[in-house]
Amino acid sequence: MTRPLAVLAFSGGMDSTTLAAQYDAEGYALLLLSFDYGQRHARELESARAVAVHFGAEHHVVDLAAVGRLMPGSALTDPSVDVPDGHYAEESMRVTVVPNRNAIMANVAVGIASARQAAVVALGIHAGDHAVYPDCRPEFVDALRSCVACALDGLHTPRVEAPFVHRSKSEIATLADTLGAPLHLSWSCYRGGARHCGTCGTCTERREAFAEAGLDDPTEYEEVER
């Protein structure tokens, strides 16, 4: 029997790797879409490829680098803006916003999913992102579903799912452990060195998630004082 297809917006990070493990466990074939949006490093794309190999999943990197070059001012795409240290709750983290990034990626994924007759488009956004990123909130997911229904009226329309949108990062860590997700292959750090820096917002959140879940953290950190 042919497995239904799930198209995932896939960064290669902790959340999307757990998302892939969940849909794989549920019996879906996986089409993982990573995005080169002109981010300051390619380390996450290397991890995305490694995770895709782990699952035996179809994997593509969508080139949006030209779009990223037209959106200066974010620490994720503009080398003149320093990546801040600290927690996502801090005001300084606003410089990590790439305007409308998830909406752009999600709509690309939806178009591909429709053409491929996929059952579902899945996003790995979670509750810890709500404070900083508007396109990670439940309201955005609801609006995206409405947009998809209009844009694909009369065409194949995949379901849009965001199963972690009300889950904390520690809950995702626990789920990953239960599913055996290969988080040792995943990459979260915004700086993109040889190892996770351990101090940027996403590293801080990653470390806290494993600690709060009471799980061993497989991540190698630089442990550099900044």
The mean predicted confidence, pLDDT, of the chain is 93
Can you tell me the distance from the alpha carbon of 29 to that of 70, in angstroms, rounded to the nearest whole number?
A: 34
Domain-embedded: residue 28? yes
Mean pLDDT of the region 115-133: 91
- Assigned domain for 203 exists: yes
- Secondary structure, 3-state, 163-189: CCCCCCHHHHHHHHHHHCCCHHHCCCC
CA dist list (Å): 90 to 41, 86, 190:
23, 7, 16
Does residue 83 fall inside a structural domain? yes
Single out the residue of 109, 41, 99 nearest to residue 70, CA to CA.
99
Is 36 a member of any domain? yes
Query: pLDDT tens digit string along 10-24?
Result: 999 999 999 999 999
**Average of pLDDT values for 111-133?**
92
Domain with residue 100: its CATH number is 3.40.50.620
Q: Which burial class, exposed, middle or buried, applies to 216 when counting CB atoms under 10 A from its CB (0-12, 13-18, 19+)?
A: exposed
Q: How many domains does the chain have?
A: 1
**42-56 burial: b if 16+ Cβ within 10 Å, else e:** ebbbebbebbbebbe
Give domain status of residue 147, yes or no. Answer: yes
Strands (E) located in 53-172: 58-63, 120-122, 159-161
Residue 221 lies in a domain: no
Identify the pLDDT of residue 226. Answer: 42
Is 222 a member of any domain? no
The pLDDT of residue 19: 98
- What is the average pLDDT across 131-144? 92
Residue 226 lies in a domain: no
CA 143, 100, 85 angle in degrees (round to 5)?
125
Q: CA–CA separation, 46 vs 59, rounded Å? A: 12
Instruction: Report the range of poorest mean pLDDT among 1-5, 24-28, 115-119, 130-134.
Output: 130-134
pLDDT tens-place string over residues 74-106: 988 888 888 888 776 666 678 888 899 999 999
Identify the domain containing residue 13 by its residue range: 5-213
**pTM score, whole prediction:** 0.93
The CA distance from 226 to 203, in Å, is 13
